[in-house]
Amino acid sequence: MRTQVCIIGGGPAGLLLSQLLHLDGIDSVILERRSRDYVLGRIRAGVLEWGSVEMLRKAQVGARMEREGLPHEGTYLSAQNRGFRIDFQDLVGKKVMVYGQTEVTHDLYDARDKLGGVVIDEAEGVRPHDLDTEAPYVTYTKDGTEHRIDCDFVAGCDGYHGVSRQSIPDSVLQTFERVYPFGWLGVLSQTPPVSEELIYANHERGFALCSMRNPKLSRYYVQVPLDDKVEQWSDDAFWDELRRRIPADAAERLVTGPSIEKSIAPLRSFVAEPMKWGRLFLVGDAAHIVPPTGAKGLNLAVSDVHYLHEGLRAHYNDGEPEGVERYSERALARVWQSERFSWQMTSLLHRFPDQGGFGQRMQESELAYLEMSRSARTTMAENYVGLPF
């Protein structure tokens, strides 16, 4: 088989890149290790920067998001069980959209199917070859038979554990990482959200987040030690702990119910440089991980797709190589800004093992300053809604 761009990974990054390339007349093939049902069953974040919203519209996959998504013009921060609001619309004239990553992936799969996109699921043993030449190719096994795809470029959209980043020589690749000493215990429940906008809560017992997927489906988190097990947490214990950490008025109106999904996720910050080697491009989680505190994971993948799509379009349609050559430089500039914001939010809101009383008071003072300072709130809002691509 021959294509122009072979995309490894059938998550939202790979699907979005394939869709945008198709609309510009550029061929691609997607190889996905898992089944489609598995990909669509993954529970992921649900806050889209406005730049991501516009990218989905550009890709002609925004219709259901427009109908069912929840535009948010602000968010709440709290300390000592008292909250205040950051008004995005007033401060920076933008908003965010709450629309689950699972729904984004559904919409992208539907769009690729409608346009005849080639998505090969359950492709085993995917491996790129000759990436540092002008004739790269990718091999994989499907139903016991080995196949080969010749291509011009390979886009590695296969996540943190994928083969793409591992294909860059150790002598070239640099990685930067911080692993945080806690995790998030998350619960999904078929209950109305406690607030019409997200609540990020700092508390001496640990961080908490009140989020949602839709008006009848809520997503809540509490910070827990890394060695905690899901089995240690009954639903009642979770709801009791959440009430202790969030603003008092929210705790009073919280509607609880049985959890339909419960899991513990570790937190880390990670960046790989460069994001381009030879004819290989790293996209999304293959190149970087952010703690979920800043809601940047999916959005960073979308911005990577933006830069790569622009570069490939200019290469094929205009004969201009600069966008392809500068992909890593352009993408990493935005990656590090988002890493900075996510690290700041994580440091501000979580209880660290060694912070003591002084560290807690510093966090509370920083939150108090955010509440009183319009310029501080503006900086926070500007980063939360998303820096320009």
Residue tagged active-site, from 109, 137, 140, 200? 200
Give the C-alpha separation, 129 to 150, whole Å.
10
Give the C-alpha separation, 168 to 164, whole Å.
7
Is 292 catalytic? The answer is: yes
What are the phi and psi torsion angles at 127 (to 5°)? -150, 125
Residue tagged active-site, from 203, 276, 288, 296? 296
Residue tagged active-site, from 12, 22, 72, 291? 72
| 23 and 169 Cβ atoms separated by less than 8 Å | no
Give the C-alpha separation, 22 to 365, whole Å.
50
Is 193 catalytic? The answer is: no
Residue tagged active-site, from 76, 109, 180, 384? 384
First to last CA, the chain: 34
Give the C-alpha separation, 357 to 335, whole Å.
33
297-318 and 12-23 helices, crossing angle to 10°: 30
Residue tagged active-site, from 292, 316, 327, 350? 292
Is 114 catalytic? The answer is: no
Which residues are known catalytic residues?
72, 200, 292, 296, 384
